[in-house]
Amino acid sequence: MPSLFSGINVALRSLMAQQEAMTVIEHNVANANTPGYHRQEAVLSASIPSSQAMTFGSGSVGQFGTGVMIEKIQRFAQNFMDVRYRETVSESSRWTLQSDILSQVESVLSETSKDGLTTKLDQFWNSWQALSGDPTNPTLKATVLSNAQSLASAINQRSGSLYQLRYDQNLTFKQSADEVNDIASQIATLNEEISHAQSINQAPNDLLDKRDQLLDRLSELTGAVSFLQENGEVIVSINGHALVNGHSTFKLVVDSNQPMAAVKWEDGQTFTASTGEMAALLDVRDGVIVDMTNALDNLAYNLVQAVNQIHNPDPATAPSDPPYAAAGMDFFQPLTTVTGAAGSLKVNPAMETLSNIMGASAAYPGNGDIALSIANLRSATQTALDGMSFNSFYTKSVASLALETKNAEAYASNAKNVAGAIKTSRDSYSGVSLDEEAANMIKTQRAYQAAARMVNVMDEMLDTIINGMGLVGR
């Protein structure tokens, strides 16, 4: 039979257990808004019973309960939900970033506004056409010059902004690679701490939260996937290449020697993010922006070639008939390569002297065929521009950019919805509900009060024995 003193012990255990459970509730309430926090619960169970011999007679009555104890602090996390969430959030952040950058590219080109590049091109052609009607008129020549200059500077400016955007993405890409390395080291350290805690049977709940958050961020960045091991450690890999394995990491190396940084694994293999922000950055940096820059370069280079060929014909190939009889000067400064043409496009400064602008050759001042031929380039198809005219080539380029932007926006909004739904289910399981915590708090508080009362009762019972049973010995 248990002693009266052991009764006090049972009550004491209860007091302690309820107090600890209350601490867990406090922890939950405190972290109700903490991102990545998974709610915890003190799991109570009856403590190990004691077998007691019968007081009278032989045999045993069985086991007496010894009260309550905290079996473990449970953390509400579902691994499959985390994996699913990371899959969707990596897609969502990839397309969100991609559509953000693409709209920046689009606004750089600002084609819907009145002074878009197509309008500048039109004005350029129109001024040549006007000059063809009166080839020696200095006012018309001045219009040609100023329209040409504003066309050139519009192309320069767009090319410059595209380069700036590309440079920005490059910088973010490098920073992201650093962030990946940093996260990898943190995960490796956490792996070590977690496996150690688990080996001595402790639940490293808050460390797990921290690691989960890092894994979330890692999949936003790169679409990394993780595999949970028996010992509580995770193996992380990006597109099939290990990033973290146990306590060791495989770092990314940024090669900044080139203008556009290349990122490799430290073992020399090429790094490719399967999805996530880094995939978006690389896609835009080396895909979309380069395509658009190339299109502008192509446009500028061929514009210079075509206009100069008419304004300053090669004597060997020019027809001897008027209007080509006398050679002029290059209207645009000649360009040698297509690459960078949009950046260096410039009207020949000699054209500031208006008499150098040839609407007609000097010998035939009335014949505006030079100006007219240049004006007619408006609709002339260019082999180098996939058989399109200047205007339609540019329209096609910006339209295909717009289409990509629109698609990226659609993907982003779909992926965001899916990720949002999964996040909701994850929160539904792991998040803190204040109502629940309040109810648990009352429950725990009452149990604590009851245990305290039990101590009181036990005390009175002892009092009966000690002080109420006669005066022998006093």
Partner 1 sequence: MRITNTMMTDSAIRYMNESKERLVEYQEMVSSGKAFQKMSDDPSRAAAAMGLRSSLNTNEAYTNTAENVSDWMSANETAFSSIVDLMTRARNLVLQGQSDTLSAKERTALGTELASIVHNAVDVVNSSVNGRFLFGGYQTGKVPFTMDPAGTAVTYNGDNGVMTQEIGPGQSILINFPGNSTFAEMFNAMIKARDDLLNNNSANLETRLSELASATATVTTIRTTNSTRLNQVTTGLDSLEKAKIEIKSLLSKKEDANLAEAISYLSNQESVYQTVLEVSQRAISSMNLFDVIG
* Contacts to partner 1 by CB under 8 A: 32-33, 102-103, 106-107, 111-112, 116, 118-119, 121-123, 125-126, 129-130, 132-134, 136-137, 322, 360, 363-369, 372, 375-376, 378-379, 391-392, 395-396, 398-399, 401-403, 405-406, 409, 420, 423-424, 427-429, 431-435, 438-439, 442
Nearer to partner 1, 128 or 173 (CB): 128
Nearer to partner 1, 98 or 274 (CB): 98
Burial class (CB in 10 A: 0-12, 13-18, 19+), 278: buried
Residues, the chain: 474
Q: How far is the CB of 147 from partner 1 (least distance, A)?
A: 12
Q: How far is the CB of 266 from partner 1 (least distance, A)?
A: 39
Q: How far is the CB of 132 from partner 1 (least distance, A)?
A: 7
Which among 305, 385, 373, 389 has a CA at the least distance from the CA of 345? 305
Nearer to partner 1, 239 or 392 (CB): 392
CA 217 to chain centre: 9
Other Cβ atoms closer than 10 A to 452: 14
Q: How far is the CB of 401 from partner 1 (least distance, A)?
A: 8
Tokens encoding 28:
């939950």
Q: How far is the CB of 379 from partner 1 (least distance, A)?
A: 6
Separation CA 443–CA 315 (nearest Å):
101
Other Cβ atoms closer than 10 A to 247: 13
Nearer to partner 1, 32 or 54 (CB): 32
The structure tokens 């304004």 sit at 311
How far apart, in Å, do the first and last CA atoms of the chain sit?
A: 28
Nearer to partner 1, 229 or 425 (CB): 425
Which among 266, 285, 201, 194 has a CA at the least distance from the CA of 234? 194
How many CA within 13 A on the CB side of residue 307? 31
Which among 240, 236, 238 has a CA at the least distance from the CA of 227? 236
Mind giving me the DSSP string for 408-461? HHHHHHHHHHHHHHHHHHHHHHHS--HHHHHHHHHHHHHHHHHHHHHHHHHHHH
Q: How far is the CB of 413 from partner 1 (least distance, A)?
A: 9
Contact, 186 vs 224, CB < 8 A? no
Nearer to partner 1, 251 or 416 (CB): 416
Q: Tell me the residue type at 91.
A: E
Nearer to partner 1, 121 or 187 (CB): 121
Tokens encoding 250:
């495989």
Q: How far is the CB of 41 from partner 1 (least distance, A)?
A: 13
Q: How far is the CB of 424 from partner 1 (least distance, A)?
A: 6
Nearer to partner 1, 175 or 428 (CB): 428
Q: How far is the CB of 391 from partner 1 (least distance, A)?
A: 5
Separation CA 137–CA 129 (nearest Å):
12
Nearer to partner 1, 176 or 382 (CB): 382
Q: How far is the CB of 329 from partner 1 (least distance, A)?
A: 21
Nearer to partner 1, 112 or 256 (CB): 112
Query: Positive or negative CA dihedral for 9, 11, 15, 20?
Result: positive
